[in-house]
Amino acid sequence: MPAIATTSSLNDYPRLSISSYLEQLRITQPDSLPVSYKHKGKHHSYNIELAKTSCNYGNYRYWFLCPSCSKRTGVLYCAGSYVCRHCIGASYHSQLQQPVDRIYTKLNALRERLGWQVGVIHGIGERPKGMHHSTYERLLVEYEQLINKLIRTFY
């Protein structure tokens, strides 16, 4: 369940919530918020741009502007530098794509092309109707190589 994995993993990141700065923002009305922290022994210090939108009674609602995608967000997450949940989600998923996952992805793509059942790794299927013998042979070789790669990652 990728959705659940993403949610629980977000809790593992240090977060910065705009709500914890409301008092300070109301008084100083800054355009950006300086952050200073240590990540893996390296010191980081920079400003995060802010945006404000007006709400009732002439008040403002403050937002962070994600340093990566510039979208408005109330919470930033840190995996080296602070970004919004979409940006950290994207990097989390690419980190998650381990070599084994990439092999599975390729295997499934190949099985789909061959018209074989996707999601299982065993069993070599028939040559699809209309596919050239040479293409089929080539794809079989490719398939064998991926299976061997997969086996090597396990042993």
Using rule CB under 5 A, residue 68 touches Zn ion:
yes
Site for Zn ion in 47-66 (CB under 5 A): 66
List the x/- string, 72-111, binding to Zn ion by CB under 5 A: -----------xx--x------------------------
Q: What are phi and psi of 18, to 5 degrees?
A: -60, -30
| Min separation Cβ 63 and Zn ion, Å | 12
Handedness of CA 113, 116, 119, 122 (dihedral sign): negative
| Min separation Cβ 87 and Zn ion, Å | 3
Site for Zn ion in 13-52 (CB under 5 A): none
Please tell me the distance from the alpha carbon of residue 62 to that of residue 28, in angstroms, as a whole number.
12
Nearer to Zn ion, 69 or 96 (CB): 69
Nearer to Zn ion, 70 or 105 (CB): 70
Number of chain positions touching Zn ion (CB under 5 A): 6
> Helices 2-10 and 85-96, interaxial angle, to 10°?
120
Nearer to Zn ion, 68 or 91 (CB): 68
Please tell me the distance from the alpha carbon of residue 79 to that of residue 93, in angstroms, as a whole number.
13
| Min separation Cβ 69 and Zn ion, Å | 3
Please tell me the distance from the alpha carbon of residue 100 to that of residue 129, in angstroms, as a whole number.
30
| Min separation Cβ 128 and Zn ion, Å | 42
Residue 77 pairs in a beta bridge with 15, 83
Interface contacts to Zn ion, rule CB under 5 A: 66, 68-69, 83-84, 87
